[in-house]
Amino acid sequence: MSSPSSPHPIPVPFQAESSKLLKNKRSNRNSIKRTWSHLIPCFETGLRHQHRKPKRRRPTGLESADKIFKSAVINQAEEFQSKLDPEYPSFVKALVKSHVTGCFWMRLPAPFCQTHLPVIDTFFTLETHSKKLYKAKYLASRQGLSGGWKGFAVSERLLEGDALVFHLISDTKFKVYVIKENNLTEVDGTLSSINLNTHEIQSDPGIVDQTSMQPPQNSESNSTGNSGRVVDGFPIYEEATLSPNTVSTFENFSIVINDLLKDYELPRHIKWSYYKLCCSQDALLHEQLPQWMNHILVGGIIIETVTIADALRQCELSTPKEEFAVWDKTLSALELLGMNVGFLRTHQHRLQRIVHDPEVAIVKQKCLELCAENSRAEDEIRSLTARLVEMKKVHIKRATDIDNLKSKLSNHEIRFQELVHTPW
């Protein structure tokens, strides 16, 4: 049957076929979209792959052995720590690359620092098992050891992978025990920790021995040693020679100053002059400066101190009193800030007393008067000498003229005599 509104009715089978084609077209379109979705843009997939976390790979045999080795060192250090006197706090520190190379920075555990260490920057003494002593500066704000730590690490030949046991035996003194990697041995082909040397543990002064924790008594051997030894370029001090204000070599002194001033660099000649001043007093002159003081201001104080010290070395009796007054005011201000410049003020006052001595003033005035008279006499001598030279020149010229005239007169005399004796 045909529809009245459609002159050419569409057969049903053809409609089904067209609908199938339409579906095929849609599916093809979707497949094309899916295809393009895989192709857009390549850099997106690249970024996606870049941010993808790498798969966790199983450690190789060497890495596993290394972990066992390191854990064995830590186990040995912890076993050693367990035998220390619990009355004095301690902690174990495994050494990494930054501890023994490069910046040589030893960061301490934060809970330990907050509980047991001072809240201001302080110099600590590090004592080894062999009684060697080192100085290192503890930075409270950064909770670590900086200035002087390099000397300890190099002298003790610390390596990455070693472990240290820090034993705080006094407010500013650590007993440091070094657990080396090469103290471990292989057992049945696998790495394992070795037992501690019991003889060393029993003889160690830090292990539950209250008598050994007492400071050493002054003895002849201690009092006679007044200088430290140097190992690998770093100073090692004996107990009797070490004090909180000990000034070591210029290299270690530079480390302390650089750490104090941070990014503010002092000229080398200023640093050297300041080092000599500190050596003369066997103390760090800036030690009593407030901890809150800006490091640039500290650098300016050091420069001013060195400048005045050099000026005092170069002053003379003729130095005006005003300069001494300026130096005295400046040193007084530096001393109020906490700078140890009392010895400079004492020296300046002695020089000033000599300059202000009345007898010195009288002698100086008389000397000036005599110098003026002597200067006038010298001027007159120079004037007379010049006149004498001129008169000598005139005398020589006149003598030459006289000789010439005498020669002419002699010629006339000869001619006259010849004429007189001419025959008639």
* Residue type, position 346, single letter: T
> Closest Cα to residue 154, out of 106, 121, 196, 190?
106
Query: What is the tally of structural domains in the chain?
Result: 3
Position 175 in a domain: yes
Please tell me which residue, 287 or 264, carries the higher pLDDT value. 287
Position 16 in a domain: no
CA dihedral 275, 280, 283, 284 (to 10 degrees): -30
| pLDDT attached to residue 381 | 94
**327 and 378 assigned to the same domain:** no
**232 and 87 assigned to the same domain:** yes
| Strand-pair category, 185-187 with 122-127 | unpaired
Token pair of 240 as six digits: 């009797």
**72 and 194 assigned to the same domain:** yes
37: exposed, middle or buried (C-beta count within 10 Å: 0-12, 13-18, 19+)? exposed
| pLDDT attached to residue 181 | 67
**409 and 281 assigned to the same domain:** no
**327 and 369 assigned to the same domain:** no
Q: What's the chain's average pLDDT?
A: 73
**367 and 313 assigned to the same domain:** no
Position 403 in a domain: yes
Q: What is the pLDDT of residues 200-225, one digit of tens each?
A: 333 343 433 333 333 333 333 333 33
Q: What is the pLDDT of residues 225-282, one digit of tens each?
A: 333 444 333 344 333 333 334 456 787 787 778 778 877 788 888 889 999 999 888 8
Asked whether the whole model's pTM tops 0.85, one would answer no
Position 364 in a domain: yes
Question: Which of 332, 356, 380 delimits the end of a domain?
Answer: 356
Question: Domain range for residue 134?
Answer: 63-201+228-236
Asked if the model's pLDDT at residue 375 lies above 70, the reply is yes
Position 206 in a domain: no
**75 and 113 assigned to the same domain:** yes
Asked if the model's pLDDT at residue 44 lies above 60, the reply is no
**347 and 314 assigned to the same domain:** yes
